[in-house]
Amino acid sequence: MRWATRQGVHIDRAACAWLIRRFIDPDPQFLFVADASEVPDDATPFDMPGVEYSHHGADCTFETLLRRHDLTDPVLWRVAALVHEADLDDGRYDAPEAPGFDLALRGLSMVAGDEQTLALTGPLFDGAYEFFRRQVMLGREPA
Amino acid sequence: MHIRVDSTTRAPGPGEWVLLMYRLPREPSTPRSAVWRKLRRLGVAQLADGLVTLPADARTREQLDWLAEEIQEAAGTAGVWLARPASMAQERDLATAMAAERAAEYAAVREGAHAAAALDEPAQRRAVRRLREELRRIRRRDFFPPPEREAAVAAVEALAAGPATSPPAAPAAALGKGRLR
């Protein structure tokens, strides 16, 4: 499937691309556009104003994707807390790592293109998911 | 008040600003106050009733885009515009007003740090954490850093260093300098 989002990827779009590849569409192709009017007909837009997979109410796009695809895995919702606080910083969740992820993604966007940012952040979100999975399983901080 | 306008990204003449014009029904009041809280957190300048603005960059545009969407979902109307003040003076007035609001917030942090110096050590450590967090939040919406910022940073770092050591005024001030948006 083809997926389209805005250029200049930050935390929410990078995390959504990771979520799509890992849990929604095993063979996604991502396009980056400057404006919603440039999204091709066969591509599903995400994290753009006015589209289905976007911010809704207090949710960021990552949370919207989880809800629309009935992804109830508590580990994914812990990743959602990280993404939400790094993106919106509104205190909805307790995610003390969020400012660090925010800085990492903003810095990355200064030195890497969108494709490269997705390639580099994929393993980062894999690792965060694994960390939170062990944390949930153990009920304490993993080693 | 001395206002630094970022000269590395700004061409001569007024810079670009992103404007959000919006209207929300008076009732229910929950979405109204949610929007109000978010606007405060973003540090917008209020130009008129239902018209707010921030210096335009990728991040501020996106934030106001999302807010416009949220307002429309709450049965309001909203539009996001890009514009330039017609004169340098008008931009300077806007920047000065925004800097004054941040200056008051920094001053409150500094007073908090001074007040906390009288507390016992565990309470001081908690105060340092809280005040550093507060500084981080203010910085995120500080587009035209006022001189009060360095004083606030120095006061919090002096509290963190404790009474035994002299306050690290110089490093704290150096840290605050040259931070560009």
Quote the ipTM score. 0.81
pLDDT band at B178 (very low <50, low <70, confident <90, very high): very low
Note whether B73 contacts A90, CB cutoff 8 Å: no
Instruction: Give alpha helix (H) positions in B22-120.
Output: 29-42, 58-73, 88-116
CA distance B41 to chain A (A): 8
Q: What is the pLDDT of residue B10?
A: 52
CA distance B12 to chain A (A): 24
Residue B4 in this model has a pLDDT that exceeds 70: no
The pTM assigned to this predicted structure is 0.82
Mean pLDDT of A107-111: 94
Q: How far apart are CA B105 and CA B135, in angstroms?
A: 9
Alpha-carbon torsion B131, B133, B138, B139, what sign? positive
Residue-wise pLDDT tens digits, A6-48? 999 999 999 999 999 999 999 999 999 998 899 999 999 999 9
Q: How far apart are CA A113 and CA A118, in angstroms?
A: 9
Q: What is the pLDDT of residue B7?
A: 45
Could you tell me if A100 lies within 8 Å of chain B, comparing CB atoms? no
Note whether A8 contacts B58, CB cutoff 8 Å: yes
Radius of gyration from C-alpha coordinates of chain B = 19
Could you tell me if A26 lies within 8 Å of chain B, comparing CB atoms? no
Q: Which residues contact B157 (CB under 8 A, 6 or more apart)?
A: B167, B168, B171, B172
For residue B22, give the 3-state DSSP assignment.
Answer: strand
- Residue in chain B closest to A47 (alpha carbons) equals B66
Residue B180 in this model has a pLDDT that exceeds 70: no
Strand partners, A30: A3
Give chain A's mean pLDDT: 95
Q: Which two tokens stand for residue A16?
A: 């959504």
Q: What is the pLDDT of residue B6?
A: 52
Q: How far apart are CA B29 and CA B96, in angstroms?
A: 31
Q: What is the pLDDT of residue B3?
A: 57
Mean pLDDT of A67-76: 97
